[in-house]
Protein backbone atom coordinates (compact mmCIF):
# COMPACT_ATOMS: atom_id res chain seq x y z
CA UNK A 1 0.00 0.00 0.00
CA UNK A 2 1.57 3.24 -1.10
CA UNK A 3 1.46 6.45 0.88
CA UNK A 4 3.24 8.56 -1.71
CA UNK A 5 0.53 10.40 -3.59
CA UNK A 6 -2.72 10.43 -1.60
CA UNK A 7 -3.21 11.99 1.81
CA UNK A 8 -4.38 9.88 4.73
CA UNK A 9 -7.54 11.96 4.97
CA UNK A 10 -8.37 11.34 1.32
CA UNK A 11 -7.67 7.61 1.64
CA UNK A 12 -9.79 7.37 4.78
CA UNK A 13 -12.66 9.29 3.19
CA UNK A 14 -12.56 7.06 0.13
CA UNK A 15 -12.42 3.88 2.22
CA UNK A 16 -15.36 4.95 4.39
CA UNK A 17 -17.42 5.87 1.35
CA UNK A 18 -16.50 2.63 -0.41
CA UNK A 19 -17.56 0.46 2.55
CA UNK A 20 -20.48 2.71 3.46
CA UNK A 21 -19.58 2.77 7.14
CA UNK A 22 -17.24 4.50 9.61
CA UNK A 23 -16.83 1.33 11.70
CA UNK A 24 -13.29 0.60 12.88
CA UNK A 25 -12.49 -2.80 14.35
CA UNK A 26 -9.92 -3.02 17.11
CA UNK A 27 -7.51 -5.93 17.09
CA UNK A 28 -6.96 -6.59 20.81
CA UNK A 29 -5.86 -10.22 21.09
CA UNK A 30 -6.13 -11.19 24.76
CA UNK A 31 -5.32 -14.83 25.44
CA UNK A 32 -8.01 -15.45 28.04
CA UNK A 33 -10.72 -14.08 25.75
CA UNK A 34 -9.77 -15.86 22.53
CA UNK A 35 -12.09 -18.42 20.95
CA UNK A 36 -11.56 -21.82 22.64
CA UNK A 37 -11.16 -23.40 19.22
CA UNK A 38 -7.83 -21.59 18.86
CA UNK A 39 -6.55 -22.65 22.28
CA UNK A 40 -6.83 -26.40 22.07
CA UNK A 41 -3.11 -27.02 22.39
CA UNK A 42 -2.16 -24.44 25.04
CA UNK A 43 -3.47 -22.94 28.23
CA UNK A 44 -5.74 -19.93 27.77
CA UNK A 45 -3.32 -17.87 29.81
CA UNK A 46 -1.04 -14.94 29.25
CA UNK A 47 1.60 -17.17 30.93
CA UNK A 48 1.69 -19.54 27.96
CA UNK A 49 4.98 -19.51 26.00
CA UNK A 50 5.25 -16.21 24.07
CA UNK A 51 6.06 -17.90 20.78
CA UNK A 52 2.89 -20.00 21.00
CA UNK A 53 0.70 -17.05 21.94
CA UNK A 54 2.20 -14.93 19.18
CA UNK A 55 1.34 -17.57 16.59
CA UNK A 56 -2.22 -17.79 17.91
CA UNK A 57 -2.57 -14.00 18.01
CA UNK A 58 -1.49 -13.91 14.38
CA UNK A 59 -3.92 -16.66 13.43
CA UNK A 60 -6.73 -14.95 15.32
CA UNK A 61 -6.11 -11.47 13.89
CA UNK A 62 -5.87 -12.84 10.37
CA UNK A 63 -9.15 -14.64 10.94
CA UNK A 64 -10.80 -11.42 12.10
CA UNK A 65 -9.35 -9.50 9.17
CA UNK A 66 -10.69 -12.09 6.72
CA UNK A 67 -14.18 -11.45 8.07
CA UNK A 68 -14.16 -7.67 8.45
CA UNK A 69 -12.13 -6.65 5.39
CA UNK A 70 -15.15 -6.65 3.07
CA UNK A 71 -17.21 -4.76 5.67
CA UNK A 72 -15.14 -1.94 7.19
CA UNK A 73 -12.51 0.57 6.05
CA UNK A 74 -9.93 0.29 8.82
CA UNK A 75 -8.61 -1.82 11.69
CA UNK A 76 -6.85 -0.69 14.86
CA UNK A 77 -4.32 -3.10 16.35
CA UNK A 78 -3.66 -2.41 20.03
CA UNK A 79 0.11 -2.56 20.24
CA UNK A 80 0.28 -3.46 23.93
CA UNK A 81 -1.05 -6.99 23.45
CA UNK A 82 1.67 -7.74 20.93
CA UNK A 83 4.45 -5.95 22.79
CA UNK A 84 3.63 -7.97 25.91
CA UNK A 85 4.96 -11.04 24.08
CA UNK A 86 8.31 -9.46 23.29
CA UNK A 87 10.02 -10.12 19.95
CA UNK A 88 7.60 -12.90 19.04
CA UNK A 89 4.68 -10.54 19.51
CA UNK A 90 6.15 -7.68 17.53
CA UNK A 91 6.95 -10.03 14.66
CA UNK A 92 3.32 -11.16 14.72
CA UNK A 93 2.20 -7.51 14.75
CA UNK A 94 4.25 -6.75 11.65
CA UNK A 95 2.59 -9.67 9.89
CA UNK A 96 -0.87 -8.53 11.03
CA UNK A 97 -0.28 -5.05 9.62
CA UNK A 98 1.00 -6.46 6.35
CA UNK A 99 -1.96 -8.84 6.10
CA UNK A 100 -4.46 -6.03 6.74
CA UNK A 101 -2.87 -4.00 3.95
CA UNK A 102 -2.96 -7.05 1.69
CA UNK A 103 -6.71 -7.12 2.32
CA UNK A 104 -6.89 -3.39 1.39
CA UNK A 105 -7.63 -2.19 4.92
CA UNK A 106 -6.18 0.95 6.43
CA UNK A 107 -4.26 0.37 9.66
CA UNK A 108 -4.38 2.64 12.70
CA UNK A 109 -1.67 1.64 15.19
CA UNK A 110 -2.93 2.27 18.71
CA UNK A 111 0.18 2.93 20.77
CA UNK A 112 -0.56 6.35 22.29
CA UNK A 113 3.03 7.39 21.75
CA UNK A 114 4.28 10.70 23.07
CA UNK A 115 7.68 12.21 23.78
CA UNK A 116 9.83 15.19 22.94
CA UNK A 117 12.53 16.04 20.46
CA UNK A 118 14.49 13.28 18.80
CA UNK A 119 12.62 10.56 20.70
CA UNK A 120 9.31 11.70 19.22
CA UNK A 121 10.98 11.88 15.83
CA UNK A 122 12.09 8.27 16.21
CA UNK A 123 8.60 7.09 17.16
CA UNK A 124 7.15 8.94 14.18
CA UNK A 125 9.79 7.64 11.79
CA UNK A 126 9.16 4.05 12.87
CA UNK A 127 5.38 4.02 12.82
CA UNK A 128 4.12 6.50 10.27
CA UNK A 129 4.63 4.76 6.96
CA UNK A 130 8.09 3.75 8.19
CA UNK A 131 9.23 0.20 8.97
CA UNK A 132 5.92 -0.54 10.72
CA UNK A 133 3.99 0.88 7.75
CA UNK A 134 0.99 2.07 9.77
CA UNK A 135 -1.36 4.49 8.04
CA UNK A 136 -1.93 6.35 11.30
CA UNK A 137 -0.91 6.33 14.96
CA UNK A 138 -2.52 7.43 18.23
CA UNK A 139 -0.49 10.10 20.02
CA UNK A 140 -0.48 11.40 23.60
CA UNK A 141 -0.18 15.23 23.71
CA UNK A 142 0.23 15.75 27.43
CA UNK A 143 3.91 16.66 27.15
CA UNK A 144 2.76 19.73 25.23
CA UNK A 145 2.00 20.64 21.65
CA UNK A 146 5.69 20.63 20.74
CA UNK A 147 5.72 16.90 21.55
CA UNK A 148 3.35 16.16 18.68
CA UNK A 149 5.14 18.35 16.12
CA UNK A 150 7.51 15.55 14.99
CA UNK A 151 4.49 13.32 14.42
CA UNK A 152 2.72 16.01 12.44
CA UNK A 153 5.79 16.65 10.31
CA UNK A 154 6.28 12.95 9.58
CA UNK A 155 2.57 12.43 8.89
CA UNK A 156 2.44 15.26 6.36
CA UNK A 157 5.60 14.15 4.55
CA UNK A 158 4.53 10.49 4.31
CA UNK A 159 0.77 11.02 3.83
CA UNK A 160 0.02 9.31 7.11
CA UNK A 161 -2.22 10.45 9.97
CA UNK A 162 -2.21 10.85 13.73
CA UNK A 163 -5.00 10.80 16.30
CA UNK A 164 -4.32 12.91 19.37
CA UNK A 165 -5.85 12.03 22.74
CA UNK A 166 -8.34 14.77 23.62
CA UNK A 167 -11.14 13.26 25.75
CA UNK A 168 -10.53 9.59 26.48
CA UNK A 169 -13.26 7.04 27.10
CA UNK A 170 -12.12 5.79 30.51
CA UNK A 171 -13.86 7.14 33.64
CA UNK A 172 -10.58 8.44 35.06
CA UNK A 173 -10.00 10.61 32.02
CA UNK A 174 -11.88 13.36 33.81
CA UNK A 175 -9.29 13.48 36.60
CA UNK A 176 -7.06 15.76 34.54
CA UNK A 177 -8.82 16.33 31.22
CA UNK A 178 -11.87 17.96 32.84
CA UNK A 179 -9.91 20.40 35.00
CA UNK A 180 -10.58 24.03 34.14
CA UNK A 181 -7.90 26.45 33.05
CA UNK A 182 -8.88 29.98 31.99
CA UNK A 183 -12.54 28.98 32.21
CA UNK A 184 -12.11 26.10 29.76
CA UNK A 185 -11.46 22.42 30.33
CA UNK A 186 -7.99 21.07 29.68
CA UNK A 187 -9.46 18.93 26.89
CA UNK A 188 -10.88 22.07 25.27
CA UNK A 189 -7.40 23.59 25.18
CA UNK A 190 -6.01 20.40 23.63
CA UNK A 191 -8.85 20.37 21.10
CA UNK A 192 -8.10 23.96 20.09
CA UNK A 193 -4.47 23.06 19.40
CA UNK A 194 -5.45 19.92 17.49
CA UNK A 195 -7.96 21.78 15.33
CA UNK A 196 -5.38 24.40 14.42
CA UNK A 197 -2.94 21.83 13.04
CA UNK A 198 -5.73 19.76 11.49
CA UNK A 199 -6.87 22.82 9.54
CA UNK A 200 -3.30 23.60 8.54
CA UNK A 201 -2.77 20.07 7.16
CA UNK A 202 -6.16 19.69 5.43
CA UNK A 203 -5.07 20.92 2.00
CA UNK A 204 -7.97 20.37 -0.38
CA UNK A 205 -9.73 18.02 2.06
CA UNK A 206 -12.33 18.87 4.68
CA UNK A 207 -10.23 17.09 7.29
CA UNK A 208 -6.53 17.21 8.00
CA UNK A 209 -3.81 14.71 8.81
CA UNK A 210 -4.29 15.33 12.52
CA UNK A 211 -7.28 13.75 14.22
CA UNK A 212 -8.59 13.56 17.77
CA UNK A 213 -9.58 10.76 20.11
CA UNK A 214 -12.87 11.41 21.91
CA UNK A 215 -14.60 8.60 23.80
CA UNK A 216 -18.08 7.33 23.01
CA UNK A 217 -18.76 7.43 26.75
CA UNK A 218 -18.97 11.25 26.70
CA UNK A 219 -21.79 12.05 24.22
CA UNK A 220 -22.29 15.69 25.19
CA UNK A 221 -18.60 16.48 25.07
CA UNK A 222 -18.30 14.61 21.78
CA UNK A 223 -20.94 16.82 20.19
CA UNK A 224 -19.29 19.97 21.52
CA UNK A 225 -15.87 18.86 20.34
CA UNK A 226 -17.18 18.01 16.86
CA UNK A 227 -18.37 21.60 16.60
CA UNK A 228 -15.07 22.92 17.96
CA UNK A 229 -12.95 20.85 15.54
CA UNK A 230 -14.54 21.14 12.07
CA UNK A 231 -11.34 20.02 10.28
CA UNK A 232 -10.48 17.16 12.62
CA UNK A 233 -11.21 13.47 12.16
CA UNK A 234 -12.51 12.04 15.44
CA UNK A 235 -11.68 8.50 16.50
CA UNK A 236 -14.41 7.39 18.90
CA UNK A 237 -13.43 4.45 21.12
CA UNK A 238 -15.66 2.90 23.77
CA UNK A 239 -18.51 1.71 21.54
CA UNK A 240 -20.24 -1.45 22.73
CA UNK A 241 -18.33 -3.18 25.52
CA UNK A 242 -17.45 0.08 27.30
CA UNK A 243 -21.02 1.32 27.14
CA UNK A 244 -20.95 3.65 24.14
CA UNK A 245 -24.03 3.48 21.92
CA UNK A 246 -24.79 4.38 18.33
CA UNK A 247 -27.12 7.17 19.43
CA UNK A 248 -24.43 8.43 21.77
CA UNK A 249 -21.81 8.79 19.03
CA UNK A 250 -24.11 10.53 16.54
CA UNK A 251 -22.77 13.94 17.55
CA UNK A 252 -19.29 13.02 16.34
CA UNK A 253 -20.26 13.13 12.65
CA UNK A 254 -20.70 15.90 10.15
CA UNK A 255 -23.91 16.25 8.16
CA UNK A 256 -22.59 13.94 5.45
CA UNK A 257 -21.86 11.05 7.78
CA UNK A 258 -18.12 11.69 7.68
CA UNK A 259 -15.60 13.06 10.15
CA UNK A 260 -15.69 10.16 12.60
CA UNK A 261 -14.41 6.63 13.07
CA UNK A 262 -16.24 4.52 15.63
CA UNK A 263 -14.12 1.77 17.14
CA UNK A 264 -15.24 -1.50 18.66
CA UNK A 265 -12.88 -4.28 19.68
CA UNK A 266 -14.06 -6.73 22.32
CA UNK A 267 -17.73 -6.51 21.35
CA UNK A 268 -16.88 -7.68 17.84
CA UNK A 269 -13.72 -9.77 17.91
CA UNK A 270 -14.83 -11.75 20.98
CA UNK A 271 -18.44 -12.05 19.86
CA UNK A 272 -18.27 -15.82 20.43
CA UNK A 273 -18.73 -14.96 24.13
CA UNK A 274 -21.95 -13.02 23.51
CA UNK A 275 -24.85 -15.49 23.81
CA UNK A 276 -27.21 -13.41 21.68
CA UNK A 277 -24.64 -13.33 18.87
CA UNK A 278 -23.23 -16.84 19.22
CA UNK A 279 -26.63 -18.56 19.32
CA UNK A 280 -26.63 -21.76 17.26
CA UNK A 281 -22.93 -21.64 16.41
CA UNK A 282 -20.31 -24.30 17.04
CA UNK A 283 -16.94 -23.42 18.63
CA UNK A 284 -15.16 -23.53 15.28
CA UNK A 285 -17.62 -20.96 13.89
CA UNK A 286 -16.24 -18.04 15.92
CA UNK A 287 -15.66 -16.07 12.71
CA UNK A 288 -19.37 -16.18 12.00
CA UNK A 289 -19.95 -14.58 15.40
CA UNK A 290 -17.45 -11.85 14.47
CA UNK A 291 -19.30 -11.24 11.21
CA UNK A 292 -22.66 -11.06 12.98
CA UNK A 293 -21.38 -8.58 15.56
CA UNK A 294 -19.62 -6.44 12.98
CA UNK A 295 -22.72 -6.31 10.79
CA UNK A 296 -24.84 -5.45 13.82
CA UNK A 297 -22.53 -2.55 14.67
CA UNK A 298 -22.58 -1.27 11.09
CA UNK A 299 -26.38 -1.44 10.99
CA UNK A 300 -26.72 0.37 14.33
CA UNK A 301 -24.46 3.18 13.18
CA UNK A 302 -26.39 3.48 9.92
CA UNK A 303 -29.73 3.59 11.73
CA UNK A 304 -28.86 6.00 14.53
CA UNK A 305 -26.16 8.34 13.21
CA UNK A 306 -25.55 10.42 10.06
CA UNK A 307 -23.44 7.49 8.83
CA UNK A 308 -26.65 6.17 7.33
CA UNK A 309 -26.16 8.73 4.54
CA UNK A 310 -23.10 6.78 3.39
CA UNK A 311 -25.25 3.91 2.16
Residue 23's domain is classified under what CATH number? 3.20.20.70
The answer to whether residue 311 sits within a structural domain is no
The answer to whether residue 309 sits within a structural domain is no
The answer to whether residue 3 sits within a structural domain is no
On average, the pLDDT of the chain sits at 95
pLDDT greater than 50 at residue 1: no
**Count of all residues that appear for the chain in the document:** 311
Q: What was the pLDDT predicted at 2?
A: 43
The answer to whether residue 1 sits within a structural domain is no
Q: What is the tens place of the pLDDT at every residue in 220-263?
A: 999 999 999 999 999 999 998 888 999 999 999 999 999 999 99
Which residue spans within the chain are E strands per DSSP? 23-27, 74-77, 106-113, 136-139, 161-167, 180-181, 184-185, 210-214, 234-236, 260-264
Q: How many domains does the chain have?
A: 1
Tell me the catalytic residues: 112
Q: What is the tens place of the pLDDT at every residue in 116-175?
A: 999 999 999 999 989 999 999 999 998 998 999 999 999 999 999 999 999 999 989 999
Has this prediction a pTM greater than 0.75? yes
Q: What is the tens place of the pLDDT at every residue in 67-110?
A: 999 999 999 999 999 999 999 999 999 999 999 999 999 999 99
Range of the domain at 43: 8-303
Q: What is the DSSP string of 170-188?
A: SGGGHHHHT-EETTEEHHH
Amino acid sequence: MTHDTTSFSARLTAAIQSKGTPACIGLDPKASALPPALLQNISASENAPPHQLAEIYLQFCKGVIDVVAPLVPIVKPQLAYFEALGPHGTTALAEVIAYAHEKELLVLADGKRGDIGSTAEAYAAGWLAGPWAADALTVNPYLGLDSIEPFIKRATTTNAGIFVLVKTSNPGGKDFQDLKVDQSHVYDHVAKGVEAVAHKTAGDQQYGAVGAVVGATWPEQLTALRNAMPHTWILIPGFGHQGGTAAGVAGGFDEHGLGALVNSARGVIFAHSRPEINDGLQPHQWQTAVERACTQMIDQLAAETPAGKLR
